[in-house]
Amino acid sequence: MIQGSNMAECHPVGFRWVMEAKARGAKVVHVDPRFTRTSAVADLHVPLRAGSDIAFLGGLVRYILEEDRWFRDYVVHYTNAAALVSEDFRDTEELDGLFSGWDAESGHYDPSSWAYEGAPASVPTAHRETATGQPGPERSKHRKPSRTDPTLQHPRCVFQVLRRHFARYTPEMVEEVCGVPRALFLRVAETICANSGRERTTAFCYAVGWTQHTIGVQYIRTAAILQLLLGNVGRPGGGILALRGHASIQGSTDIPTLYNLLPGYLPMRKAQADGGLAAYLERNTAETGWWHEFPKYAVSLLKAWFGAAATAVNDYLFDALPAIDGDHSHMAMVAAMADGKVKGYFLMGENPTVGSMHGGLQRAALRKLDWVVVRDFAVTESAEDFWREAPEEVETEVFFFPCAAHTEKDGTFTNTQRLLQWHHKAVEPPGDCRSELHFMLHLGRRLKALYAGSTDAKDRALQALTWDYPTVGPYEEPDAAAVLAEINGYRVADGAPVAGFGELAADGSTACGCWIYSGCCAGGENGPARRRPAGEQSWVAPDWGWAWPANRRLLYNRASADPEGRPWSERKRYVWWDEAAGRWTGHDAPDFPVDRAPSYRPPRGARGVAAIGGADPFVMQSDGRGWLFAPNGLLDGPLPTHYEPQESPIENPLYPQQRNPARLEWRRRDNPYHRAAGDPRYPYVLTTYRLTEHHTAGAMSRWLSWLAELQPELFCEVSPELAAEKGLAHGGWATISTARTAIEARVLVTRRLPAIRLKGGVVHQIGLPYHWGSKGRVRGDAANELIGFVADPNVSIQESKALTADIAPGRRSRSA
Amino acid sequence: MAPSKILDALSRWPVARQLRDGDWTALAGPARSPRTEALAPRTERADRVVRSVCPYCAVGCGQLVYVQDERITDIEGDPDSPISRGCLCPKGAATFQLVTGSHRVKTVLYRGPYGTSWETIPLERAMDMVAERVKAAREATWEERRADGPPLHRTMGLAHLGGATLDDEENYLIKKLFTALGVVQIENQARI
Amino acid sequence: MSGPDDGRYVDPELGLLLGEGAAQRIAAGEAREIWRDVAASLPAPGEGPTYYDRPVLKEPVWIWSVPVYFWTGGTMGAALALGGAAQLAGAELRPFVRRCRWVGAVGGAASAALLIHDLGRPERFHHMLRVFRPTSPMSVGSWVLAAASTLAGGAALLGRRRGLLRGAGDLAGLGAALLGLPLAGYTAVLVGNTAVPVWLAARRSLPFLFIASSMSGAASFFDLGSLRPREARVVRAFGIAGKAAELAAIAAVESEAGRVERVGRPLREGVAGALWTAAKVLTAASLAATLLPRRSRRAGLAAGLLGTAGALALRFAVFHAGKASSRDPRATFHQQRLPSCETSTP
Amino acid sequence: MAVGFFTDTTVCIGCKACEVACKEWNQLPDDGFHFTGMSYDNTAALGASTWRHVSFVERPVALSEQLTGLGQFSWLMMSDVCKHCQRAGCLEACPTGAILRTEHDTVYVQPDICNGCGYCVTACPFGVIDRREDDGRAWKCTLCYDRLRGNLTPACAKACPTDSIQFGELDELRERAARRLAVLHERGVGEAWLYGADAASQPGTGGLNAFFLLVDKPEVYNLPPEPVVPTHRAGEAWGAMALAALGMAAAALGSVLASRSGRG
* Residues in contact with A197: Cβ distance below 8 Å, sequence separation at least 6, in sequence order: A71, A230, A231
Residue A121: predicted pLDDT: 63
The DSSP letter of residue D198 is: S
A341 in B contact zone (CB under 8 Å): yes
Cβ-nearest to A419 among B57, B60, B116: B60
For residues A592-606, average pLDDT: 94
Residues in A touching C33 (Cβ below 8 Å) = none
- The more confident residue out of C167 and D190 is D190
pLDDT tens by residue, A305-334: 999 999 999 999 999 999 998 899 999 999
Chains near D with 3+ CB pairs less than 8 A apart are A, B, C
**pLDDT tier, C42 (very low <50, low <70, confident <90, very high otherwise):** very low
Residues in A touching D19 (Cβ below 8 Å) = 706, 710
Comparing A584-593, C101-110, C230-239, D169-178, which segment has the lowest mean pLDDT? C230-239
**pLDDT tier, C46 (very low <50, low <70, confident <90, very high otherwise):** low
Question: Amino acid identity of A504?
Answer: L
Residue C36: predicted pLDDT: 46
What is the spatial distance between Cα C41 and Cα C48, in angstroms, rounded to a whole number? 16
* Helix boundaries (H) for D61-203: 89-93, 119-123, 145-149, 155-159, 170-186
Residue A705 distance to chain C (closest CA, Å): 7
For residues A386-402, average pLDDT: 97
What is the spatial distance between Cα D258 and Cα C126, in angstroms, rounded to a whole number? 42
C64 in B contact zone (CB under 8 Å): no
User: What's chain A's average pLDDT?
Assistant: 94
Q: Which of C212, C208, C323, C288 is nearest to C255 (CA)?
A: C208
Tell me what percent of the residues of chain A surpass a pLDDT of 70. Answer: 97
Say yes or no to pLDDT of C158 above 50: yes
Say yes or no to pLDDT of C18 above 80: yes
With CA atoms as reference, the chain A residue closest to D43 would be A710
What is the spatial distance between Cα A119 and Cα A113, in angstroms, rounded to a whole number? 10
Chains near B with 3+ CB pairs less than 8 A apart are A, C, D
Give strand ranges (E) for A194-317. 204-206, 240-242, 261-262, 266-267, 269-270
Residues in C touching B72 (Cβ below 8 Å) = 14-16
CB atoms within 10 A of CB A178: 29
Residue D32: predicted pLDDT: 87
pLDDT tens by residue, D135-157: 999 999 999 999 999 999 999 99
Residue A541: predicted pLDDT: 95
Residue C294: predicted pLDDT: 65
Residue A143: predicted pLDDT: 67
For residues D171-183, average pLDDT: 97
With CA atoms as reference, the chain C residue closest to B72 would be C15
Residue C296: predicted pLDDT: 76
Cβ-nearest to A731 among C7, C9, C38: C38
What is the spatial distance between Cα A638 and Cα A632, in angstroms, rounded to a whole number? 7
pLDDT tens by residue, A487-513: 999 999 999 999 999 999 999 999 999
C164 in B contact zone (CB under 8 Å): no
Comparing A121-130, A188-197, A748-757, B160-169, which segment has the lowest mean pLDDT? A121-130
**pLDDT tier, A138 (very low <50, low <70, confident <90, very high otherwise):** low
A679 in D contact zone (CB under 8 Å): no
Q: What are the C-alpha distances in Å from A792 to residues A89, A105, A327, A329, B156?
A: 23, 19, 12, 12, 23
With CA atoms as reference, the chain C residue closest to A429 would be C14
Say yes or no to pLDDT of D2 above 60: yes
Say yes or no to pLDDT of C32 above 60: no
Residue B54 distance to chain D (closest CA, Å): 13
B114 in A contact zone (CB under 8 Å): yes
Which site among C20, C59, C205 would you substitute to test the D interface, given the most D Cβ atoms closer than 10 Å to its Cβ? C20
Residue D119 half-sphere exposure toward CB, CA atoms < 13 A: 32
Query: In this structure, are residues A648 and A677 in contact, taking their beta carbons and an 8 Å threshold?
Result: yes
Residue C13: predicted pLDDT: 96
Chains near A with 3+ CB pairs less than 8 A apart are B, C, D
What is the spatial distance between Cα C215 and Cα C184, in angstroms, rounded to a whole number? 8
The DSSP letter of residue A389 is: S
For residues A691-715, average pLDDT: 95
Say yes or no to pLDDT of C340 above 70: no
A29 in D contact zone (CB under 8 Å): no
Instruction: Mark yes or no for CB contact C7/A705 under 8 Å.
Output: yes
- List, as ranges, residues 707-726 from A with C-beta within 8 Å of D: 707-713, 715
Instruction: Mark yes or no for CB contact B27/C11 under 8 Å.
Output: no
For residues A646-650, average pLDDT: 94
Comparing A481-495, A667-681, B147-161, which segment has the lowest mean pLDDT? A667-681
Residues in D touching C245 (Cβ below 8 Å) = 247, 251
Instruction: Mark yes or no for CB contact A256/B141 under 8 Å.
Output: no
For residues C273-291, average pLDDT: 94
Comparing A172-176, A695-699, C3-7, D250-254, which segment has the lowest mean pLDDT? C3-7
Residues in B touching D43 (Cβ below 8 Å) = none
C225 in D contact zone (CB under 8 Å): no
Instruction: Mark yes or no for CB contact A710/D13 under 8 Å.
Output: no
**pLDDT tier, A786 (very low <50, low <70, confident <90, very high otherwise):** very high
Cβ-nearest to D37 among A37, A41, A748: A748
**pLDDT tier, C295 (very low <50, low <70, confident <90, very high otherwise):** low
pLDDT tens by residue, A712-750: 999 999 999 999 999 999 999 999 999 999 999 999 999
> With DSSP H G I counted as helix, E B as strand and the rest as coil, what are the percentages for chain A, rounded to 5?
30, 15, 55
3-state SS class at A344: strand
Say yes or no to pLDDT of C70 above 70: yes
**pLDDT tier, A273 (very low <50, low <70, confident <90, very high otherwise):** confident
- The more confident residue out of B11 and A67 is A67
Residues in D touching C327 (Cβ below 8 Å) = none
Residue C58: predicted pLDDT: 95
For residues B116-126, average pLDDT: 98
D70 in A contact zone (CB under 8 Å): yes
Query: In this structure, are residues D135 and C25 in contact, taking their beta carbons and an 8 Å threshold?
Result: yes
Query: In this structure, are residues D90 and D99 in contact, taking their beta carbons and an 8 Å threshold?
Result: yes
Instruction: Mark yes or no for CB contact C26/D135 under 8 Å.
Output: yes
Residue D31 distance to chain A (closest CA, Å): 7
Residue A287: predicted pLDDT: 87
3-state SS class at D180: helix
Residues in D touching A40 (Cβ below 8 Å) = 13-14, 74-77
Residue D261: predicted pLDDT: 63
What is the spatial distance between Cα A1 and Cα A764, in angstroms, rounded to a whole number? 25
Say yes or no to pLDDT of C345 above 70: no
Q: Which of A177, A193, A327, A358 is nearest to A258 (CA)?
A: A327
Left, alpha or beta for A757 (phi > 0: left; psi -120 to 50: alpha)? beta
Residue C157: predicted pLDDT: 86
Instruction: Mark yes or no for CB contact C41/A777 under 8 Å.
Output: no
Query: In this structure, are residues C118 and C66 in contact, taking their beta carbons and an 8 Å threshold?
Result: yes
Cβ-nearest to B26 among D15, D97, D112: D97
**pLDDT tier, C33 (very low <50, low <70, confident <90, very high otherwise):** very low
Residue C27: predicted pLDDT: 81
Query: In this structure, are residues B96 and B74 in contact, taking their beta carbons and an 8 Å threshold?
Result: yes
Comparing A140-144, A660-664, C214-218, which segment has the lowest mean pLDDT? A140-144
Residues in A touching B155 (Cβ below 8 Å) = 322
Residue A213: predicted pLDDT: 95
Instruction: Mark yes or no for CB contact C133/B97 under 8 Å.
Output: no
Say yes or no to pLDDT of C4 above 60: no
What is the spatial distance between Cα A168 and Cα A173, in angstroms, rounded to a whole number? 7
**pLDDT tier, D262 (very low <50, low <70, confident <90, very high otherwise):** low
Residue D99: predicted pLDDT: 96
Residues in C touching D119 (Cβ below 8 Å) = 136, 138, 190, 194
Residue B94 distance to chain D (closest CA, Å): 6
Say yes or no to pLDDT of A134 above 60: no
- The more confident residue out of D47 and C293 is D47
Cβ-nearest to A333 among B57, B72, B185: B185
